[in-house]
Amino acid sequence: MHSDRIAFLRELMAAICPSGYEREASQIWKAEAETFVDHIWEDRHGNTYGAINEGGSPRVMLAGHIDEIGLMITRVDDKGFLSFAGIGIWDPQILPGQRVRIRTEEATRLGVIGRKPIHLLEEDALKRGVVIDDLWIDVGARDRADAESMISIGDVAVLDYGFECLPNGLVTGRGLDDRVGAFVVLESARLAASRNPGAEVVCVATIQEEIGYRGAATSAFAVEPDVAIAVDVGHSTDVPSTDLGRRRDADVHLGSGPVITRGPYTNHGLTRLLVDTASSLDIPHQLGACAAETGTDTDVLQISRTGVVTGLISIPSRYMHSPCEMVHLDDLMNAARLIAEVILRVEPESSSL
């Protein structure tokens, strides 16, 4: 991947953008989209759109959600410690001892997630494991008044992890789920735009996926696409302790290409076009099967208005919903290349693939 693309991804990853608070990341995405799209806009919900070749046919929507899981401050006690709730699905075992960045109206504040030390835990607490109600955030306040001078109820926080490059094309960071999807849809549109597609392409940085695909529902209604492709992350199986996954799911490895999902929530004709295109152009790819809901924007894109021809591309990911998610840069670029090639191959009648 070119250094300028990595620089953009790094900037995007630095944003604090839990579900419902995506504007910082959306503005970074928008600024990048403005370098090549024909038309860019935002809706009142917070989704951000970039279009190329408006008026072309069919209309293809590319959706990558830009929100991440996060925390919300819910209470300040008399000693200045903060209670919090999770935004999105958390494994609470990850949280104790983590540093957090809290976004307030004025600044970003540093805090630490505290828990009673293991030496002092009663036996029943040890058995039940970590629960969020037993945790707090310490911002170094003297008392309630001091804490309230820094933090307000409803402020949001993320774990204090940055974006880092590892050997062999791997990168790690907080919130790769799913800013890599928002990155890929933009790169797909950039590649397609350079080749004058017949289709109209609308790439969307959707919001609030982690709390129920809400941005995809509203943006798909607005775009009214003939064809839609969602890009999200998917679980890899190339790590220890995945025996259950290996029995139930396809083998998925980082660096072996994006995963093309087959199942009732994805259109069979579009899936076939994705696979055939990847095979004919030797684009690395993997197959996945999902017998029910995909847990991605796909699930609402498919049933928008009178129905949309929908496909799902997943970026193999390790350690999902943790502060050290990991993906392979080659998988991102191969996903972008595959989607761009499919855009060039869809025909006006593709609304009934």
Catalytic residue among 209, 210, 325, 341: 209
Cα–Cα distance measured from residue 200 to residue 17, given in angstroms and rounded to the nearest whole number: 29
Q: In what order do the strands lie in the sheet with 39-42?
A: 39-42, 48-52, 200-206, 59-65, 227-235, 309-317, 259-262, 286-289
What residues does 310 pair with on adjacent strands? Answer: 228
Q: CA 69, 74, 76 angle in degrees (round to 5)?
A: 135
148 is catalytic: no
**Is the distance from CB of 22 to CB of 66 less than 8 angstroms?**
yes
- Which runs of consecutive H residues, i.e. helices, occur in the chain? 3-13, 23-33, 123-128, 144-148, 176-193, 214-223, 243-248, 268-280, 298-301, 329-345
Which residue in this structure is represented by tokens 């998925």? 252
Residue numbers annotated as active site: 209
